[in-house]
Amino acid sequence: MPRVVGVTETGIRRRVVRRLLRWLGVLRDDLWTTRPDPLPPSVWLRWLPHGVMWLVAFGVTVGVVAPLMDGGGVGGSVAFAIGLAAGAAVVFALWRPVPAWWLSTAAMMVGALEVRRQLLAGGSHGFTWPWTAGGLIGHLAVLLLLALRVPTRVAVEALAVTLLLTYLVEGVLGAPDFQPTGVLAAILFTVVVVLGTALRGRREASRALVEQTTLTAEERARRTVLEERSRIARELHDVVAHHMSVISIQAQVAPHLVADPSEELKENLAGIRQNALEALTELRRVLGVLRSEHPETPEASADPATGTAPHAPQPTLDRIEALVENTRAAGLTVVLRCSGERWSLPPGVELSAYRIVQEALSNVLRHAPGAEAHVHVEYLPIGVVVEVANTRPTRRAAPSEGAGHGLLGMRERAAMLSGVLLAGPQQEGGYKVYAYLPASPADRDPLPASPSAAGRTRPATTPTDPASARHRADDSKEDTA
């Protein structure tokens, strides 16, 4: 039984020693370092805190040297060296707080031992000891700068070492006939370290909140772009599926248009038709996924993003007047103007132009109540230009719960077609959206203008090359800057 007890005591002793050595190793890593940690400039005052610390350092130097020479009986050279070290520690703490703390602590120890020698010899009476007023202020500044920039554990370790040294000098060594300052110093040091640690924690929390807010905004913008791209892909799949169906039908009919088609021709056309059917099947599968987040759930309601049923034909510029009428019914005054020669644009261009006008009018409804909107659709030989401008709103807009990324969707549509989209406030007030969507002149197929739009159509001087359209985009950008 005694042997078991001895073994147990030995194991406990070893564990205690290991923990003590581990703690001393952590203490050495935290406090025995010259790692730079400069104080950053203030947000509003810039370098004013640094200038204040230089003034504090000068005051500390004077406040340490004078008492040591007059009341402490310390020699002039020694007193000047101690005061200079205490003041330099305050300045040094602006860049390297841990070494500055060591310097300030060493200055305190040397000064206290020198004054103690004078107290023991009877050369000084009633001296404030072991901390002088200047040394106390200097060490408070150093501890504050330390706690503002190092982890809480390091600040607490520095405070504990300072209190331990103060106790050893005043309580263990002691001296006769002096005014003790150890308790006051311990209280002030603790308050300063707690204050600095709290300010550092608040600064880190604010920085983390700003970073999290930035990441959240970036993630929201990225998610909005992905959702808009998915919606664009969902709409364009209908167009692609239509063309694939036409290819399949043409490949099936083509052999019957030739008097005596060869077997190679029949095989090639059959292969084209088979590939078109397979591609159409895959497109329908992908389209079924893009139509809904849950493809197995049928959707009969209208899509809130587009205002159309999920399986309805995709809109074109032929329906721009119906869109304007619906917007007028919602309470917005809209003036529509069409110019240029109407021709059959590619389906993707027609769809994107319609959606840009739709989104721009929705933004006017949400963010410019009481304003008047002007929609201009201009058909060019090389594409189409759409402009949606609104006047200054007459009343404040209600808070919107949306993400506010409607312009992202419009820019995605214009970029997909290698077009230009410019948006910004106008000089006279209001807002303007300008979009140029290019189209190949080879697809030109003049169509008669609709009767309702004929009265508003006027001849327009249109550019005849892409460079002219780009020049118009630059001019519009100057208008909206």
pLDDT at position 6 over 70: no
Residue partners of 75: CB distance under 8 A and separation at least 6: 69
At position 102, the amino acid (one-letter code) is W
Residue 347 main-chain phi, psi, to 5 deg = -55, -40
pLDDT confidence of residue 463: 36
Long-range contacts of 454-463 (CB under 8 A, 24+ apart): 456/336, 456/337, 456/338, 457/338, 457/339, 458/337, 458/339, 459/339, 460/339, 460/340, 460/378, 462/340, 462/378, 462/379, 462/380, 462/381, 463/380, 463/382
pLDDT confidence of residue 115: 92
List the structure tokens of 173.
Answer: 């060594």
Cα dist from 327 to 307, 318, 401, whole Å = 12, 16, 20
Average the pLDDT over 265-276 and give the result: 83
Work out the pLDDT band at 258, boundaries 50, 70, 90.
confident
pLDDT confidence of residue 470: 42
For the chain, give the secondary structure using H, E and C.
Answer: CHHHHHHHHHHHHHHHHHHHHHHHHHHHHHHCCCCCCCCCCECCCECHHHHHHHHHHHHHHHHHHHHHHHCCCCCHHHHHHHHHHHHHHHHHCCCCHHHHHHHHHHHHHHHHHHHHHHHHHCCCCCEEECCCHHHHHHHHHHHHHHHHHCCHHHHHHHHHHHHHHHHHHHHHHCCCCEEECHHHHHHHHHHHHHHHHHHHHHHHHHHHHHHHHHHHHHHHHHHHHHHHHHHHHHHHHHHHHHHHHHHHHHHHHHHHHCCCCCHHHHHHHHHHHHHHHHHHHHHHHHHHHHHCCCCCCCCCCCCCCCCCCCCCCCCCHHHHHHHHHHHHHCCCEEEEEEEECCECCCHHHHHHHHHHHHHHHHHHHHHCCCCEEEEEEEEECCEEEEEEEECCCCCCCCCCCCCCCHHHHHHHHHHHCCCEEEEEECCCCCEEEEEEEECCHHHCCECCCCHHHHCCCECCCCCCCHHHHHHHHHHHHHHHC
| Domain range list for the chain | 16-180, 215-291, 317-394+404-480
pLDDT confidence of residue 134: 94
Count Cα atoms within 13 angstroms, Cβ side, for 105: 20
List the structure tokens of 225.
Answer: 């772009």
pLDDT confidence of residue 91: 95
Average the pLDDT over 173-202 and give the result: 94
What is the percent of the chain with per-residue pLDDT over 70, rounded to a whole number?
80
Work out the pLDDT band at 291, boundaries 50, 70, 90.
low
The CA distance from 35 to 99, in Å, is 8
Residue partners of 403: CB distance under 8 A and separation at least 6: 220, 224
Q: Look at the alpha carbons of 446, 450, 454, 460 in this order and tell me if their dihedral is positive or negative.
A: negative
Average the pLDDT over 96-119 and give the result: 94
List the structure tokens of 170.
Answer: 């005043």
Average the pLDDT over 244-266 and give the result: 81
Average the pLDDT over 105-113 and give the result: 94
pLDDT confidence of residue 461: 33
Assigned CATH class of 317-394+404-480: alpha beta
Average the pLDDT over 115-130 and give the result: 86
Give the position of tokens 């700003």.
210
Identify which has the larger pLDDT, 12 or 112: 112
pLDDT confidence of residue 460: 34
Identify which has the larger pLDDT, 51 or 401: 51
How does pLDDT run across 436-450, given as a tens digit for each residue?
A: 999 976 555 444 333
Asked which of 11-20, 51-60, 167-176, 444-453 is least confident by mean pLDDT, the reply is 444-453
Average the pLDDT over 173-183 and give the result: 91
Work out the pLDDT band at 410, boundaries 50, 70, 90.
confident
Is the bond into 466 cis (omega within 30 degrees of 0)? no
| Size of the chain, expressed as the number of residues it contains | 481
- Average pLDDT of the chain? 81
Average the pLDDT over 222-244 and give the result: 73
**0.75 exceeded by pTM:** no
pLDDT at position 60 over 80: yes
Identify which has the larger pLDDT, 344 or 290: 344
Average the pLDDT over 165-193 and give the result: 94
List the structure tokens of 453.
Answer: 């739009």
How does pLDDT run across 350-401, given as a tens digit for each residue?
A: 988 998 999 899 889 888 888 999 999 999 999 999 999 999 998 887 766 5
CB atoms within 10 A of CB 50: 16
Please tell me which of 264-268, 304-308, 341-345, 387-391 the model is most confident about, judged by mean pLDDT: 387-391
Asked which of 109-118, 260-269, 335-344 is least confident by mean pLDDT, the reply is 260-269
